[in-house]
């Protein structure tokens, strides 16, 4: 592998025409060369993602143009003609978007590209609005500043399926990135390229307006990302009062006040909490940099409490299912989301559909069900990692309308002198308490993906017998067992009141852990002990 890494590195170094990139390659250390050229990026559950360094294993000018050329060739083979391109606030996102556009344009493919950064939900909206064959979003979502990535959507606004991924991947593997980049890096976009403006955001946020002034006090943060214009527009036209932390208001790929801009974690709310306490806010809402996820904190009994992704899902489900009277009403979620959602749906006589992780699966199922039962049957589509769809005819996670909806619910509750925590406690009183924890174990260095998969294979071959003195009574291997779903490399374990799932990430070398412990009250201490045993004994 070391020899191969060096050979590929030297090929890049000796053949690249761009002097700036040549200098970057010359500065790489031996260790960086070994790691960065150890393998090639590939599609995962949400596209392609990596750190922004030079090398075949990273997101950079060459790998971006290589993917663009692969998509172009695939489109030509299938007589497809147009693509929407959108990008977030990250470093190099605009540059990568323009490079992607150059490749498509040179291949005579119609390009609609945003002039300025915009959220992922807008990429999806524009793809359907302009009847494009694909939408391309340059983003690394909630990852830290060293990452970037690319998501690709089909004409329905759903992430491309495995079959298309595999076909593009075959072309990708046969494409020489040096040739592609050398051919386009000085290319000027033609007049055939259409530049999109903020008017598209204004059209996206058109919504039945309720300008009656609300009593709810909100702190909203875009975390220096793309959500500000769309979210604040929706809040304003619906009569909400809100404040934004000054340091997180403007676009920045540095994320200085929030190194890991993931609204799943309370650390992302540091600046918002300061502002919320100062202004006695009722609720804090955060969108991640590409605004497809939300995180929520609620003031309750004088303290600000962070809701988990599953807890926001419970609230949305209970509230929307109560309002919806359609006899075929349904909810879509993933197999790694909390089992408590099953009890909520059953109580409301609603259909629950579980899919594999990622909105490629969730969005596809949502679309199929809306087509079968009608738009009015839709209630909610969500995954535990803070991704929600609350609006029908939209099939990818959307932090923009989810932000408005959680504020609407909180405002309704405030009129009854309740908070979202009160509402959540009512849900727990009705269905039982569920402690949920999400964690991960990361693998670094060369061959990190292989190391990660080796741990999963070991679990498969040497099945654990117990956890926290509870006998494991059921194991579901989604890569082997007949689950009614496509095969995927993760394993689910049941032991009395405990369920946990081990799943390799589809976009980065880390094992994700999903833990659910059910009881009559919060049993977080027990859950933490279970998590510790999983990490020290099973994943060592």
Give the CATH number of domain 36-200; options: 3.40.50.300, 3.90.580.10, 3.40.120.10, 1.10.1060.10: 3.40.120.10
As a whole number, mean pLDDT of residues 281-309 equals 97
Instruction: Check pLDDT > 60 for residue 40.
Output: yes
Half-sphere exposure of 516 (CA within 13 A, CB side): 23
Please state which CATH class domain 433-538 belongs to. Answer: alpha beta
Q: State how far the Cα of 25 lies from the Cα of 5, in Å rounded to an integer.
A: 13
241-243 and 510-519: which strand pairing?
Answer: unpaired
Which pLDDT does position 520 carry in this prediction?
A: 72
156-177 pLDDT, tens digit per residue, is 999 999 899 999 999 999 999 9
Q: State how far the Cα of 225 lies from the Cα of 143, in Å rounded to an integer.
A: 12
Please state which of the ranges 72-76, 289-293, 398-402, 506-510 shows the lowest mean pLDDT. 506-510
Give the torsion through C-alpha atoms of 512, 517, 518, 524, to 10 deg: -120
pTM of the predicted model as reported, rounded to 2 decimal places: 0.93
Which pLDDT does position 522 carry in this prediction?
A: 66
294-300 and 303-307: which strand pairing?
Answer: antiparallel
Percentage above 70 pLDDT, the chain: 97
Q: State how far the Cα of 397 lies from the Cα of 161, in Å rounded to an integer.
A: 16
Give the CATH number of domain 215-431; options: 3.40.30.10, 3.40.50.10480, 3.90.650.10, 3.40.120.10: 3.40.120.10
Domain with CATH 3.40.120.10 in the chain: 36-200, 215-431
Instruction: Check pLDDT > 70 for residue 2.
Output: no
Strand, coil or helix: 308: coil
Query: What is the DSSP secondary structure assignment for residue 214, as one 8-state letter?
Result: P
Q: Write the CA distances from 171 to 66, 111, 269, integer angstroms.
A: 9, 21, 42
Q: How confident is the model at residue 457 (pLDDT cuts 50, 70, 90)?
A: confident
Please state which of the ranges 36-50, 206-220, 236-250, 446-460 shows the lowest mean pLDDT. 36-50
Instruction: Check pLDDT > 60 for residue 478.
Output: yes
Phi-psi region of 447 (alpha: psi -120 to 50; beta: other; left: phi over 0): left
513-536 pLDDT, tens digit per residue, is 999 998 877 678 889 999 999 998
Q: State how far the Cα of 358 lies from the Cα of 380, in Å rounded to an integer.
A: 15
Q: How confident is the model at residue 489 (pLDDT cuts 50, 70, 90)?
A: confident
Please state which of the ranges 73-82, 180-189, 454-463 shows the lowest mean pLDDT. 454-463
What DSSP string describes 167-194?
HHHHHHHH--HHHHHHHHTTPPPPTT-E
Residue ranges of the alpha helices (H) in 19-110?
A: 19-26, 30-36, 61-77, 93-106
Please state which of the ranges 93-97, 135-139, 140-144, 374-378 shows the lowest mean pLDDT. 140-144
Q: How confident is the model at residue 206 (pLDDT cuts 50, 70, 90)?
A: confident
Instruction: Check pLDDT > 80 for residue 469.
Output: yes
Q: What does the block give as tokens for 217?
A: 């006090």
Which pLDDT does position 43 carry in this prediction?
A: 67
Domain with CATH 3.30.310.50 in the chain: 433-538
- Better-predicted residue by pLDDT, 449 or 94: 94
Please state which of the ranges 94-103, 335-344, 485-494, 501-510 shows the lowest mean pLDDT. 501-510
Which pLDDT does position 210 carry in this prediction?
A: 75
CB distance 500 to 459 below 8 Å: no
4-32 pLDDT, tens digit per residue, is 688 999 999 999 999 999 999 999 999 99
Which pLDDT does position 42 carry in this prediction?
A: 78
- Better-predicted residue by pLDDT, 462 or 134: 134
Query: What is the DSSP secondary structure assignment for residue 154, as one 8-state letter?
Result: -
378-383 and 387-389: which strand pairing?
Answer: antiparallel
Q: Write the CA distances from 60 to 7, 67, 93, integer angstroms.
A: 19, 11, 10
- Tell me the pLDDT of the chain averaged across its residues: 93
Which pLDDT does position 1 carry in this prediction?
A: 38
176-195 pLDDT, tens digit per residue, is 999 999 999 999 999 999 99
């Amino acid at each position: 592998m070391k020899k191969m890494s060096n050979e590929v590195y030297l090929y890049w170094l000796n053949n690249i025409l761009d002097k700036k990139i040549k200098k970057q390659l010359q500065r790489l250390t031996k260790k960086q060369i070994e790691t960065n050229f150890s393998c090639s990026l590939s599609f995962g559950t949400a596209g392609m993602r990596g750190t922004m360094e030079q090398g075949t294993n990273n997101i950079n000018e060459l790998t971006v143009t290589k993917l663009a050329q692969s998509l172009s060739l695939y489109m030509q083979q299938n007589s497809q003609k147009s693509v929407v391109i959108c990008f977030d606030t990250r470093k190099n996102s605009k540059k990568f978007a323009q490079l992607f556009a150059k490749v498509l344009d040179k291949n005579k493919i119609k390009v609609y590209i945003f002039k300025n950064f915009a959220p992922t939900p807008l990429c999806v909206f524009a793809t359907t609005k302009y009847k494009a064959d694909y939408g391309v979003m340059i983003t690394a979502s909630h990852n830290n500043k060293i990452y970037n990535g690319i998501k690709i959507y089909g004409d329905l606004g759903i992430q491309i399926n495995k079959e298309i991924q595999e076909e593009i991947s075959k072309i990708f593997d046969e494409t020489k990135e040096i040739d592609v980049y050398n051919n386009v890096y000085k290319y000027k976009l033609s007049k055939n390229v259409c530049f999109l403006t903020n008017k598209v955001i204004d059209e996206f946020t058109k919504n039945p307006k309720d300008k009656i002034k609300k009593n709810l006090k909100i702190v909203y943060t875009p975390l220096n990302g793309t959500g500000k214009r769309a979210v604040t527009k929706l809040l304003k036209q619906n009569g909400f009062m809100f404040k934004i932390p000054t340091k997180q208001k403007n676009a920045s790929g540095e994320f200085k006040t929030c190194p890991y801009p993931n609204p799943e974690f309370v650390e992302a709310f540091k600046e918002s909490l300061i502002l919320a306490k100062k202004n006695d806010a009722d609720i804090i809402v955060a969108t991640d940099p590409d605004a497809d996820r939300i995180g929520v904190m609620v003031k309750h009994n004088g303290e600000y409490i962070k809701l988990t992704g599953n807890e926001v899902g419970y609230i949305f489900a209970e509230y929307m299912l109560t309002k919806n009277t359609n006899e075929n009403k349904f909810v879509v979620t993933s197999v790694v989301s909390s089992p408590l959602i099953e009890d909520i749906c059953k109580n409301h006589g609603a259909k629950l559909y579980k899919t594999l992780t990622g909105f490629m699966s969730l969005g596809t199922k949502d679309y199929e069900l809306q087509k079968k039962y009608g738009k009015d049957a839709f209630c909610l589509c969500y995954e535990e990692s803070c991704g929600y769809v609350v609006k029908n005819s939209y099939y990818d996670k959307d932090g923009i309308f989810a932000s408005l909806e959680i504020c609407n619910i909180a405002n309704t509750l405030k009129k009854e002198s309740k908070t979202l925590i009160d509402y959540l406690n009512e849900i727990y009183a009705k269905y039982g308490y569920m402690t949920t924890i999400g964690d991960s174990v990361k693998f670094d260095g060369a061959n990190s993906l292989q190391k990660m998969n080796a741990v999963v294979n070991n679990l498969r071959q040497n099945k654990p017998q117990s956890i926290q003195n509870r006998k494991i009574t059921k194991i579901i291997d989604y890569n082997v067992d007949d689950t009614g779903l496509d095969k995927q490399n993760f394993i689910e374990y049941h032991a009395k009141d405990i369920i946990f799932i081990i799943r390799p990430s589809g976009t980065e070398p880390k094992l994700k852990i999903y833990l659910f412990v059910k009881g009559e009250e919060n049993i977080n201490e027990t859950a933490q002990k279970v998590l510790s045993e999983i990490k020290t004994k099973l994943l060592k």
